[in-house]
Structure 1
């Protein structure tokens, strides 16, 4: 079908419904149905078949089916021997493994013991928040891994200090993608560098290699730096604005870490009875095993898949992130299981704890399935292509970084995928720079990266946002709405900085402008946040 402005209808409808109804699955479902109907000229049977095909494709790799029918898709799944679509399957499997591991850590008393230890050593709410941010900065290998691990590790500490779950989700989310996108040794860095290499080769740019270009672009990735700087300031100065202030005041005054009117947290593990003899090691060792094993298998799978020269960049370019997460999850779960067997609990049975761990991740899995489905619908409608087509060669080079930041932001916001935005807009930005002003290539590519992270932070259908909510134990829509004001502040600073970059071509002036605006924003936010009790 022709790519038009109408391709924006399903994602915008879903996003508006999420905000108005606060019911994520209903909203995403509506966007899916409307999008499928638009793809098939409002033929309900064909739309249903399309949705069935997408859902089956998330689970199974069944190849091409012509003509597309429910019977044909089902037969193809059988004929292909129920071959699994490994990426999505492994992500779901990792979630289930992590849920079971977290349940066993709770049962063993590790979470309780860590909370008690943390209260003695991390004595303030500020300290608990800053520690969470630093954990997020340190675990930069992969955003999925970051979101789930940091949230689960920090939760006992932040709970004891009456830090709302929405605040924890923001602290986690604002250090996940922003750190991954500026780290060359990460799954993100390897992916981006691969795209950059193709762009440079296409346009005959030889003055720097892809890795060197990525390193040069790091200070130009303004939104990532501002997001990290802002979340540090929010943690240090307790800057609470908008609905975040409501969540934090309620947590301080009543001890309610989530909005009681929104119902219980989907997948909460409150039914598990903790072992009173548990130690901090019951939490630390499964996490250490998870982290160490995941990194080990990322390196190992990268080495196995690398052909030619074996370099760190080549290893991370070829690593199998999803499989590595599963292997790491298995190691972490086995360690947690051994610790539980060493200290038998008189409370919740081992089997029940494992089942509750699985149940705790089901809400996140449901949302991911709906998000993956609407992302596929949006891709078929050409939403990203339409947004990319808005940028043409008649625009002054001064405004190109700023405009690309906005386009990438809205594309990632609408489609829920920063990686998809990278693959679509980075080549377009490279082509525009080659035609208009080759010296603007790296600033324009950096603006695309930054805009994609901004859109990812704002989108309720972003998988990183979903997993940050899950890791923190927050209502998903509460996380989206409380993070939004901070993301918009970082975006406003980035827009002005990119205007300076386009106007002057000076990276130094761009970063200096961003830093100055960040300081001014922090001062203003401190005044706005007065009245909230400080830890």
Structure 2
């Protein structure tokens, strides 16, 4: 039926978020939200709404090729992750790191942050690769799983938006180019994307805040309690937490001699074939290196690379006598099947996205905020609207598609830098992708770090809001200046440090926890 966007348009996503936080049952909460949205769209008919829930909003998600590849990728990620954990490589790597920079809590957190920054080419690879690998040594120095998930999630979607040759960069540049073509604007999409990087205050701020917290130990809020629990009791997650990817260490068979290469070889294979896949699908002969990276199919490359990396992990385990082929194959299958709940969450998240689209959630938020737009308030209002939309829908890519034309059009009309408008939209989109409980990357970060999903969201949100609030002040200054990228960015980073320090000072750790941290 025809559905005019009203305040009711935000009911389904808001219901999903509230229920997920209250019940801690993400699958149930998402399903109820999709069902309620479907009933609304069916004029209140419960039977039609129930039927529509599956056949109009959930199951059609399987028809999307990219969704199919993401589901396959998530499944293969689970298989490879378990292979790395059980072939002895992750443990050998943890032992090696523990003797070096990873022997302290500060060092372990910084190394995890570096791992997240290094895996800049894909938001899908980051949580399922960095999480399990770094968990092997962060557990040893009593870093809580909530902190690990926060570090992983803060680099998952944020880092790829800063690189034009990533899958995210290619998608965003494509959106800009499409808008330029349709309006006849003569700007250069790639140049304007790069010009917008310094205006990504939230993106840059969230990445750097992880480093600041890791080095200084300025934890606060729910994360402070989680870190205190890990430091003082050794409990890496709370009692009763729902851990989707907790693997018990098994005794290695007699004669097994795993080494650090059991992990490094599969990881190297993974990284090499990701780029090989991008070069192949992007036709490097015709488009050159950068053109191939921009035009290649990242999901095809990732799926292929994860399969080959899994094969190499199996072979390394057999060479070092950790297992035979039958045991290795059963381990891989066990890892794949262990991802079932995550797959269900992803499918339901796409379902709620379809409901939001049909209800006009984004349209309502945009139309509500447009009336407040002025040249001075442009940055701040667009940032707030993009944050609300991305948090409500759990999707940053849809936010980019909706807001880039609006923001760029306004910037052109008032003579403001186009790069500024692009950077603001990207930051607002990343906020929701970073911390919404219905975001697929947030779910995968929880899974990869073996952390309770709602605990991850709850502990991360105060940090995300700190960065978002500081970014808002920076955008207000940029709006007043109609530019001033580095001035606004500097203000944002100074505020992040100041707020984190003050919150830690007034609601930070107690003396016992501080002493335990110093000793660690």
What RMSD in Å do the two structures reach over aligned CA positions? Answer: 2.1
Structure 1 equivalent of residue 96 of structure 2: 117
Distance between the aligned counterparts of 1:202 and 1:194, measured in 2? 12
Q: CA deviation at 1:247?
A: 1.5
- How far residue 429 of structure 1 moved from its aligned partner, in angstroms, is 1.4
Matched residue, 2:462: 485
What does 1:103-502 correspond to in 2, within 5 Å?
103-121=82-100, 122-206=102-186, 208-263=187-242, 265-270=243-248, 272-274=250-252, 277-303=257-283, 310-345=287-322, 349-392=327-370, 395-435=373-413, 437-502=414-479
Query: What is the CA-CA distance between 1:472 and the residue it aligns to?
Result: 1.0
C-alpha contact (below 8 Å) 1:388/1:428 kept by paired residues:
no
Residue 441 of structure 1: CA displacement? 3.3
Structure 2 residue aligned with 1:509: 487
Distance of aligned partners of 1:123 and 1:272 in 2 relative to their CA distance in 1, 3 Å threshold: closer
1:86-105 pair list within 5 angstroms: 86-105=65-84
Structure 1 residues 153 and 377, CA gap change in structure 2 (3 angstroms):
same
Q: Find the aligned partners of 1:525 and 1:466 in 2 and give their Cα distance.
A: 27
CA distance in structure 2 between the aligned counterparts of 1:485 and 1:312, rounded to whole angstroms = 40
Cα distance, 1:217 vs structure 2: 0.9
3-state SS in 1 of match to 2:157: helix
Measured against aligned partners, the alpha-carbon deviations of 1:13-32 in whole angstroms (never above 9, x if no partner) come to 11111111111111111101
What SS does structure 1 have at the residue aligned with 2:376?
Answer: helix
How far, CA to CA, are the matches of 2:426 and 2:434 in structure 1?
Answer: 13
Distance 1:243 1:249 in 2: 10
Task: For structure 1, list consecutive stretches of 5 or more residues without a partner in the other structure.
Answer: 62-84
TM-score (norm 1): 0.90
Which aligned pairs between 1:43-54 and structure 2 lie closer than 5 A?
43-53=45-55, 54=57
Cα deviation, residue 6, structure 1 = 0.6
Structure 2's unaligned 5+ residue stretches are none
Contact 2:202/2:471 (CA < 8 Å) preserved in 1? yes
Deviation at 1:204, TM superposition (A): 4.3
User: Counterparts of 1:126 and 1:427 in 2: how far apart (Å)?
Assistant: 42
1:349 is paired with a residue whose SS is helix
Shift of 1:346: 7.0
**Residue 59 (structure 2) aligns with:** 56
Shift of 1:46: 2.2
Q: Deviations over 1:106-131 (max 9, x none)?
A: 22211221222121112211001001
Count residues in correspondence: 505
Higher mean alpha-carbon deviation, 103-112 vs 446-455, is at 103-112
Aligned-partner SS, 1:160? coil
Tell me the SS of whatever aligns to 1:439. coil
Distance 1:346 1:407, change over 3 A: closer
Measured at CA, do residues 326 and 395 of structure 1 come closer, stay the same or move farther in structure 2, by a change above 3 Å?
closer
Q: Deviations over 1:324-349 (max 9, x none)?
A: 11101111110011112223347993
Q: How far apart, in 2, do the equivalents of 1:240 and 1:400 lie?
A: 33
| Preserved contact between residue 293 and residue 328 of structure 1 (Cα < 8 Å) | yes
Report what 1:64 is aligned to: none
Contact 1:110/1:281 (CA < 8 Å) preserved in 2?
Answer: yes
Q: 1:529 aligns with which of 508, 516, 519?
A: 508
Taking structure 2 as the reference length, the TM-score comes to 0.92
1:72-91 mapped onto 2 (5 Å cutoff): 85-91=64-70
Superimposed CA distance per residue, residues 391-446 of structure 1 (whole angstroms, 9 cap, x where no aligned partner)? 336632111100000000010001111001000111121223334x0324332222
Provide the residue aligned with 1:79 in structure 2.
none
Distance 2:503 2:290 in 1: 40
Q: Distance in 1 between matches of 2:390 and 2:322?
A: 46
Contact 2:146–2:223 (Cα < 8 Å) also in 1: yes
> Contact between 1:112 and 1:274, CA under 8 Å: does it hold in 2?
no
Q: Which moved more, 1:400-409 or 1:472-481?
A: 472-481
Provide the residue aligned with 2:18 in structure 1: 16
Alignment partners' CA distance in 1, 2:481 and 2:323: 68
Please give the alpha-carbon distance, in whole angstroms, between the structure 2 residues aligned to 1:218 and 1:502.
16
